[in-house]
Every structure is written in C-alpha cells, then in structure tokens.
Amino acid sequence: MPSFAARCIFLCCIVFFYLPFAWANTEIVNFVAMEGSLTPSQAQALQANWTVLSAVAPEKLLRVPPAPLGTPLADVCQPSHGASCSHELWLALRLDDPAWRAYSRFTLRVSWPASSPADFDIQVKSAEALFNELQAGGLDNDFDALHTGRRMYARIRVVDAGVRVPTADGSRERVTPEPVPFIVILEPLYFGMLPASVAPTVAFLVIVIIIAAFGIVPPVQRYLGRVADEVRQETASSRTKSD
C-alpha cells in the first residue's frame, strides 16, 4: 500500500514540523479578571514606571537581576509593598480593553532561556488586594477609593538557580549573576482554559485528526479486512486438504 504509507508519512511530517519546540523554561499563572478600586494617589503611584500589558501590547521583553543563589523565592524582596527592589518587577495588567472585555479568565506566561538558570515566582493581585498591602506598608492613608475597572497587577520575582564552580582551594566561586532576560505574555483564555496563542495549533491538530479519521482509518480497515479474509480462506483450504 504505497499510497497509504505516503499519506501517513506526509501527515506525520506536517504535525512534527508544526508543533512548537520548547527552547526555554516557562512559568504560567492563570487567573480570573476582577473589578477593583484604588485611591487616586495610589492609582497614580502604581502607574509610574510600571510596565503595562494590554490587548494592544500583550508581550514584553524584560530583564531582572536574580536574587543570590540559595535565596528562598518567598523571601525575595520581602516584605515588598510596591517599593523598589532590583530582584522583582511589577506589571499593570489592563484587562478592560475593548478587545478583552468578553473574556473573564487570563493567563500570564513568563519564558526565559535555558542558558540562564533561574527560578521565577509570579503573583497576580487585584487592585483591592494590592491596596490592602499598600495600606499595611503605610504608603497611603487616603481611603477615598477610586474604581479602576478590571485592572490587575502582577509581581514577578527572580532568584539565581545556577551552580557555582569550585575553585582551587575547594571554595565556591562567587560570581554576580547577569540579569535574566525573559518574555512575559498576557493572553485571554478561550473557553476559560485555552490560551489564544495555542488555539491555531489545536485547530490544526483537530483538522489532522479529522483527515486521519475519514481519510486514513477507512482504507486501513478495508486492508485489514482483506487480510483477515485471506487468512480465513487459507485456514479453510488447509482444513479441507487435511480432511
């Protein structure tokens, strides 16, 4: 069946070529968009020097110096109430853009090269949760809240995960790690579970499965049926001769 084999090889090559390869480490957080409020002064402070992700600009390339090797992720830049810390980065997530109003669930994905050993921690906070932390930090005593819509905030912390090279005297060489480059992507989740960037791949695989089901399975079934008939005929002939 050369035509059948050729079709199988062709489909396998397409699927293998189309599937994305993982050349980087990835950390993902899925969350539900929530309405929130901030005081006017806090809303103004949080917008200053914070990277913004939105439907217009959902992807950014950033760099953050990691915390020293061995630092627990929970202790990196802790406590932090929006104050400046070199090992963390705060993002403003604008989820109420017109293109995203129909979506209630989102995913925030961080990808960094395998050549930069690091561990990432991602926390997504509503405006009210961040408001409470800022109040705990004593940064604002104005309780006149201002509605901010579906704007949320993400905190990304980085710690070094490399291996120190032993020196001649047996001690570990202490080298200041370079800032870790990473790409952060904010996407809506289709049906509450499927990232927008993955939807084309899933659609393609569905098409391949349909083609395989209707274009490949029937010929295979007919071929196997003919083989089974030949086996039955040979078995019946051998029994007749033996009798």
Does 157 have pLDDT greater than 90?
yes
In this structure, is residue 209 part of a structural domain? no
Q: How many CB atoms lie within 10 A of CB 108?
A: 23
- pLDDT of 75-85, one tens digit each? 898 876 555 78
72: number of Cβ within 10 Å: 11
Q: What is the pTM of this model?
A: 0.67
The model's confidence at residue 155, banded by pLDDT at 50, 70 and 90, is very high
Task: In whole angstroms, give the CA distance from residue 199 to residue 206.
Answer: 11
Summarize pLDDT for 119-130 with one digit per residue, the tens: 999 999 887 777
Is residue 96 pLDDT above 80, yes or no?
A: yes
Q: Which two tokens stand for residue 109?
A: 């994905």
Mean per-residue pLDDT, 167-188:
77
Nearest residue to 156 (alpha-carbon basis) of 187, 121, 183: 121
CA separation for the pair 93, 128 (Å, rounded): 14
Q: What number is the average pLDDT over the span 30-34?
A: 91
Domain that includes residue 181, residue range: 24-196
What span, in angstroms and rounded, lies between the C-alpha atoms of 71 and 181?
19
Residue 234 lies in a domain: no
What percentage of the chain has pLDDT greater than the value 70?
A: 61
What's the number of CA atoms in the CB half-sphere (13 Å) around residue 82? Answer: 26
The number of distinct structural domains making up the chain is: 1
pLDDT for 240 beyond 80: no
Residue 235 lies in a domain: no
**48 or 2: whose pLDDT is higher?**
48
Q: What is the pLDDT of residues 34-89, one digit of tens each?
A: 887 666 666 665 555 788 999 999 999 999 999 998 889 888 988 765 557 889 99
Using the predicted structure, report yes or no on whether residue 93 has a pLDDT greater than 60: yes
* Averaged confidence pLDDT in the chain: 76
The answer to the question of residue 161 being in a domain is: yes
Asked if the structure places residue 11 within a domain, the reply is no
With respect to residue 55, please indicate whether it lies within any of the assigned structural domains. yes
